[in-house]
Structure formats: structure tokens, C-alpha cells
Amino acid sequence: MGDTLFQEFIEVNNEINAEFGYPVFIWQGNNYNCIPNSYRVSRELEEGGFVSDLMLEIIVNRYDVWTDSPVFPGDVIPAPQQTLQYNGNTFRIQAVMNSPVFDHQDGSQTSPNGATIKIYGICPFRGV
């Protein structure tokens, strides 16, 4: 295991990801490993036909477990209102939250970002 809570957090998430079979989501044309916390697809019959309601919650390591380098190019993470694909469905990102686990080495915060991010996605047409 890693030397710090930050490193251990990333390593454990990588192990969980492996147990799930390395699921991925696609953002800006790139595949990223993730841990799905919640995934729901439902269809409701409304006036005019069926309407899809999609909800997604995933956790993504922000840093590579082996190199400690950012997973996202330039450390630019997904942002609200952007879209991503997961399991063949498109989601609009509603919120992105940083993990509360930061890299504290020698008593100072060396990384301004959390070890992971949590992404909340909804149907791209919902609330538009």
C-alpha cells in the first residue's frame, strides 16, 4: 500500500475498479476507468411516447496509481453541462465533486486536488 492516505485511497479505488471488470466512461473521446456507484435507466410513458430518464454516479481516480501523474490530460477534469458516455448511454454532467482526501506530505498540501472525483450525470435532455 501507499505511504500516504492519498496514495492508499487511489490504490484501493484501482483494486475496486479491477473487481468491477474495469468499467470505463468516455469523455472528450478518451476512455477513463471508473467505479459506478449508481446507474439507472428508466423509461416512462408520457404524452407523446416514452421518455428516458438516466442517472449516473461514478468515482474516478484523479491520479494514476503507478505514476502519480494526472489521469486527465493537463489535469483538466469533466465539468457540469458537458456530456459523457457510459454503457452505451449519453449523460449530461450535473455536478463534479473533489474527494476530501488530499495529498499531505511533510505537513503541507502538495496537491491542490482530491485523490478522486465523483461525477453525477443525468439524461442530457432533462431540465433543458
Name every residue whose Cβ is closer than 8 Å to that of residue 12 and which is 6 or more positions away in sequence: none
Helices (H) and strands (E) in the chain, counts: 1, 9
The pLDDT, as a whole number, for residue 78 is: 96
- Cell numbers that stand for 127 in this block: 431540465
Residue 107 pLDDT > 50: no
Residue pLDDT, tens place only, 13-28: 888 888 888 999 999 9
The pLDDT, as a whole number, for residue 114 is: 76
- Cell numbers that stand for 52 in this block: 428516458
Q: Please provide the average confidence, as pLDDT, over all residues in the chain.
A: 82
Contact (CB, 8 A) for 12 and 6: no
Residue boundaries of the structural domains of the chain: 5-122
Integer Cα distance of 4 and 32 in angstroms:
24
Q: Which of 31-35, 50-54, 115-119 has the highest mean pLDDT?
A: 31-35
- Kindly indicate the confidence band of residue 108, based on its pLDDT and cuts at 50, 70 and 90: very low
The pLDDT, as a whole number, for residue 106 is: 43
